[in-house]
Structure 1
Amino acid sequence: MKALQGVEGRVEWGDRPSPSCDVGQVRIKVAAAGLNRADLLQRAGLYPPPPGASDILGLECAGVISEVGAGSPWRVGERVCTLLAGGGIAEEVVVDARHVLPVPEGLTLQEAAVLPEVYATAWLNLYQLAALKPGEKVLLHAGASGVGSAAIQLCKAFGNPCWVSVGSAERLAYCEALGAQGGVVRGEDLQSLRDFAPFDVILDPVGGNYAALNLELLARDGRWVNIGLMGGRKAELDLALLLGKRVQLLGSTLRTRDDQFKADLLGDLLQHVWPLFTEGRLSPRLERTFAVEDAEAAFAELAGNNVSGKLVLVIDPALS
């Protein structure tokens, strides 16, 4: 089979051995794969896959089941999407059957390819770890990103008013159209987030240079979930403020979680989130598709930080 690898800061679509399909697994003929910032980091040599995971790029994809291992409830021919620790940007992928979800009714495979990673991330961090309650206020940094787009829609669906920080006025308008109450353009006046504070939960992929402001903006008993380090890995904090507000600072990653954790998380998504796609209350935010042969252009687009929503690499355009 052919697959996409990161090689010395570039990507290469080349031949790889086809994986075997064992007990409890399924083989998926891949139609399309979502592109994530983790893929950018792995291509640059900064985010290696967990031990035992494929070194092929891609944390999510969608396609059609072509083989079913013993003990799997799936059937050949079913349209599915899946969450992966790696291996999604390939002609086929073999995955734990528990990490597979049906394509929501009415969506194409290309649209479904952008769902697993961002909705799993948003649900895990907002509604499981931070334990958001109806009516609590949320701040989403990088609100127009794939995770931000999913988080805004979940907040709207579950009764949590949210605000965002974004990179441009156009992206702020995009977030407000999705359901955000408002927000700020980070290069203009990030400090104006004080006008909307205090927040009960902050979902933060930036870290470093946002840390002190996050602590200031949180309400008493607030939860600050850090999921990335785009703004650096070090910060100076006023721990007296953290103590006085009883703030919970939570570090969170998904890729390195064990198989059972991911199976439970996806089961939660299937029960609580997936029906909202059928009802039209959630939608994939697929901004643009690229043929897999144009992967370098797609990576450049994502690295430019101007994408609102998600990008997809199309592996097999005959599948829809």
Structure 2
Amino acid sequence: MHAIVVTEPGGPEVLEWREVPEPRPGPGELVITVAAAGLNRADLLQRQGFYPPPPGASSVLGLECSGVVTEIGENVMGFAPGDEVCALLAGGGYAEKVVVPWEQVLPAPEGVPLVEAAALPEVACTVWSNVFMAARLRRGETLLVHGGGGGIGTFALQLAKAFGSRVAVTTGGPEKAARCRELGADQVIDYREEDFAELVEADVILDVIGAKYLSRNLKALNSGGRLVVIGMQGGTKGELDLGVLTGKRATVIGTRLRDRPVAEKGTIVRGVRDNVWPLVAAGAVRPVVDTIVPMEEAARAHRLMESGSHIGKVLLAR
């Protein structure tokens, strides 16, 4: 088969479409013939040599895909060859085929084209596990989402609204702001011109920035608020005022999805299937796809994502 190979750490030009060995399923695993793969910021970091895959995972980029089950190993439950699916991966999505534990596979949601379904697994599992499982966002509470125009942001915004929460987002530029309002954002803050900490009182904050926003995130939290840090685009080290933290009885949670054990990922995937997929099928939550690029042109897709001009997800299609 063919896959996108990182020839050496570097820029998008190091991505090449090459012949590689086909994956074979072991016990509890199945093979998906890939229709499309979703881009994530972790892919850019791995390409640059900063985010290696977990032990035993494929070195091929790609943390989510959609496609058709073509082979199953022993002890696979609930799937058969021919099923249209999408999957949460530890790696391997930028390829013609990928092997994945069955616990991390979801049926392609009703009403979503198979290619576009590749935009869902990583963002759905990230948002469900962090905003709802870890931070326990409740109906009527306010969620603040940083990076509201990105893949995670557009999904978190829709899902929180579908569960009855008020949603504020930070984003940059009028086009992204308008799209966030279309998706239901109650408050849109342009981070280039406004200070969110002066404008928002949040019960839960979903943060992809990290150190740069740490003190302001804490300021923006309500009493009993929960800050969930899932990215570090703004650095890894910041100063935390413990007096403010304890005074607000706030919680700071740091999580990462990729290197969790299969059993934990399986719990998250089941939660998504039971609680999120019905909303997707009903049209209350939809994938937001900016651009679909041929998989062989992964370098072009990476340049687009690095430019920051996209809204929602960028996909690689076979």
Give SS of 2:159's match: helix
Give the Cα–Cα distance (whole angstroms) in 2 for the partners of residues 69 and 96 of structure 1.
10
Answer yes or no: is the 8 Å Cα contact 1:172–1:182 preserved in 2. no
CA drift of 1:194 comes to 2.1
Distance 2:49 2:9 in 1: 7
> Quick one: distance in 1 between partners of 2:296 and 2:56?
27
- The CA deviation at 1:292 is 1.2
Structure 2 length normalisation: TM-score? 0.96
Cα contact 1:211–1:237 (8 A) shared by 2: yes
User: Runs (4+) of structure 1 moved beyond 3 Å?
Assistant: none
Q: Which residue of 2 is the match for residue 318 of structure 1?
A: none
Q: Is the 8 A contact 2:171 2:189 kept in 1?
A: yes
CA deviation digits over 1:235-292, x for unaligned, max 9? Answer: 1222211110011000010001100000111001110000111111111111110011
Taking every aligned residue pair, what percent have the same amino acid on both sides? 45
**Quick check: 1:32–1:314 contact (8 Å CA) kept in 2?**
yes
Q: Which residue of 1 aligns with 2:267?
A: 264
What is the letter of the counterpart of residue 214 of structure 1? Answer: N
Kindly indicate whether the alpha-carbon contact (under 8 Å) linking 2:119 and 2:289 is maintained by their aligned counterparts in 1: yes
Alignment correspondent of 2:73 = 69
Q: Residues of 2 paired with 1:237 and 1:88: CA distance? A: 37
* Alignment deviations for residues 76-122 of structure 1 (CA, whole Å, 9 cap, x no partner): 11100000010011000111111110111121111100100001001
For the 8 Å contact 1:62–1:113, the answer to whether it is kept is yes
Aligned residues: 313
**Alignment-derived partner of residue 24 in structure 1:** 28
- Verify the 8 A CA contact 1:137 1:162 in the aligned structure 2: yes
Q: Could you say what secondary structure the match of 1:203 adopts?
A: strand
Q: Distance in 2 between matches of 1:65 and 1:139?
A: 37
Q: Return 5+ residue gaps in structure 2 as ranges.
A: none
Whether 1:41 aligns to 2:42 is no
Question: Which residue pairs with 1:8 in the alignment?
Answer: 9
One-letter identity of the residue aligned with 1:95: V
Deviation of the 1:8 alpha carbon: 2.4
Amino acid at match of 2:37: A
RMSD of aligned residue pairs (Cα, Å): 1.0
| Inter-partner Cα distance in structure 2 for 1:296 and 1:247 | 42
Q: 178-187 or 258-267: which moved more?
A: 178-187
Please, what TM-score do these two structures have when normalized by structure 1?
A: 0.96
Q: In the alignment, is residue 129 of structure 1 matched against residue 130 of structure 2?
A: no
Judge conservation of contact 2:170–2:196 (CA < 8 Å) in 1.
no
- 1:183-218 alpha-carbon deviations (Å, 9 max, x no partner): 2111111x15422x3210000000111111101110
Counterparts of 1:242 and 1:60 in 2: how far apart (Å)? Answer: 36
Instruction: Tell me the amino acid that sits aligned with residue 53 of structure 1.
Output: A
The answer to whether the aligner puts 1:150 opposite 2:155 as a matched pair is yes
1:245 is aligned to 2:269: no
Paired with 2:223 and 2:212, the residues of 1 have a C-alpha distance of 22
Establish whether residue 116 from structure 1 lines up as the match of residue 121 from structure 2: yes
Which of 78, 84, 87 is matched with 1:79 structurally?
A: 84
2: CA distance between counterparts of 1:193 and 1:246? 18
